[in-house]
Amino acid sequence: MHLYSIIFMFEQIYPKFKEIFKRRWVKVFLAFIIVFMALNIVFPPKVNITYSTLVTDKKGEILHAFLSTDEKWRMFVDLKEITPTLREAILAKEDKYFNYHFGVNPVAIFRAAFNNITKKHITSGASTITMQVVRMLNPDKRTYLNKISEILRAIQLETVYSKDEIFQMYLNLVPYGSNIEGIKSASYLYFQKPLDRLSLAEVVTLAIIPNRPTSLRLGTKNPLIDEERNIWLKRFQQTKVFDNQSINDALREPLTVFRHEALKDAPHLSLRLKKQFANESIIHSSVSIATQTKVEQMVTNYVNRTRAMNFNNAAVLVINNGTMKVEAYIGSAGFNDKLDGGQVDGVQAIRSPGLPLSRFYILLHLIKESLHQKMSSMMCLQTSTLLNQKI
């Protein structure tokens, strides 16, 4: 009986479907879908991003950062590093319908096209975050033909990657001027802190720069950036993106940042790990930054004391006996000391065993000599005691 019901329903629905598929717009739509799927197979999205190599300590804090292969500071942002505040600020400014569209916002495109045509020059754009990712992956001249290609590529990207992955790509690629790309790179090189420690004011600062990375250069255009930041903070207050107290605190926060050098701690260990794990963007070590810093200072003090005896360098490897993991790795007394071979890794350097062995044999001889003298003294004392007893 159930089978007969299904057959009956199919007989009722089939003519209606047949009638729908006869319509021209349905045929055009199906043809577009088939062509799009074929092109997607023939021309898959090219996502080949090279990142800076980061070496971290045992707690995940960055010890050392290296430039990417294309000489960029482009630090990989993990999904768990993206805070709610960061996500809300970026989406509110760049693409508030990001979670709902399919890579393209049709309403924004028609609005932008109307404004640009009526005013006879480009007054506004309609790029979604996905479209911006496409443009950053494949930079090209901004023409109408390239815009159409960008739209199709954005739809394609949405069919291959999740929203979180596309948002992650955006954060990894956004420009901040010079050779700094990605919000994590900007966070460390300007604010010297990870993303989860940024204040609301700092997050909004980093959110507004990618649209104008040249004119809004941190460190050189701070007053202008501060003014632009406050404009967006007030907009967020009006649209209730963040609460009033948070906005008011952010408006009062001064902007006094400038560009800092990238972190360069534990250089010998970092170079060794980078060579060993050449394809990894983040390399986790077992080093304790507190132990590393303390031992580095001890090595510096030791070498300063022994320079008068022509001992100008030293290397130390500290291993935790319980875990058998390296907690400090000092390859030389000073990595930048070219005169005394500071860049040579003393931990890995091949040494002649002669001097240590000779010292060991001398020590062994001294111990034997000392034991012999003690034995002789004891025998003399015992002989003397026996003679006294006989007398």
Q: What is the pLDDT of residues 161-187, one digit of tens each?
A: 999 999 999 999 999 999 999 999 999
Worst-scoring range by mean pLDDT, 89-103, 150-164, 362-376?
362-376
Q: Where are the beta strands (DSSP E) in the chain?
A: 54-56, 62-65, 73-74, 180-181, 282-284, 316-319, 326-330
**Structure token digits, residue 23:** 């319509």
Find, among 26, 48, 276, the residue nearest to 169 by Cα. Answer: 48
- Does pLDDT of 69 surpass 90? yes
- What is the domain partition of the chain in residue ranges? 2-38, 54-252
Worst-scoring range by mean pLDDT, 33-37, 215-219, 246-250, 296-300?
33-37
Find, among 57, 54, 53, the residue nearest to 328 by Cα. Answer: 57
Determine contact, residues 192/260, Cβ cutoff 8 Å.
Answer: yes
369 or 217: which leads in pLDDT: 217
> What pLDDT score does 301 carry?
92
CA distances from residue 192 to 67, 267, 373 in whole angstroms, order as listed: 17, 19, 64
Average pLDDT, whole number, for the chain? 84
388 pLDDT tier (thresholds 50, 70, 90): very low
> What pLDDT score does 146 carry?
80
23 pLDDT tier (thresholds 50, 70, 90): low
Average pLDDT over residues 251-263: 95
Worst-scoring range by mean pLDDT, 38-47, 61-70, 129-138, 283-292?
38-47
Pairing state between β 54-56 and 62-65: antiparallel
Worst-scoring range by mean pLDDT, 103-107, 266-270, 314-318, 381-385?
381-385
> What pLDDT score does 357 carry?
58
**Structure token digits, residue 207:** 């959110």
- Does pLDDT of 84 surpass 80? yes
Mutual orientation of helices 244-252 and 200-208 as an angle, nearest 10°?
70
Average pLDDT over residues 26-40: 61
252 or 338: which leads in pLDDT: 252
Pairing state between β 326-330 and 73-74: unpaired
Three-state DSSP state, 328: strand
> What pLDDT score does 140 carry?
80
Distance (Å, rounded) from C-alpha 254 to C-alpha 222?
Answer: 10
With vertex at residue 234, the alpha carbon angle to CA 213 and CA 129, rounded to the nearest 5 degrees, is 45
- Residues 6 or more apart in contact with residue 194 via CB below 8 angstroms: 81, 184, 187, 188
**Structure token digits, residue 353:** 């065993």
> What pLDDT score does 181 carry?
96
Instruction: Out of 1.10.3720.10, 1.20.5.50, 3.40.50.2000, 1.10.3810.10, select the CATH number for domain 54-252.
Output: 1.10.3810.10
94 pLDDT tier (thresholds 50, 70, 90): very high
Average pLDDT over residues 340-367: 72
> What pLDDT score does 16 carry?
57
> What pLDDT score does 28 carry?
63
Distance (Å, rounded) from C-alpha 92 to C-alpha 187?
Answer: 20
Distance (Å, rounded) from C-alpha 134 to C-alpha 142?
Answer: 12
Highest mean pLDDT among 54-63, 299-308, 347-356: 54-63
Distance (Å, rounded) from C-alpha 113 to C-alpha 256?
Answer: 40
362 pLDDT tier (thresholds 50, 70, 90): low
- Residues 6 or more apart in contact with residue 117 via CB below 8 angstroms: none
- Does pLDDT of 227 surpass 90? yes
Looking at residue 308, its amino acid is A
Determine contact, residues 334/319, Cβ cutoff 8 Å.
Answer: no
Three-state DSSP state, 192: coil
Global pTM value? 0.78
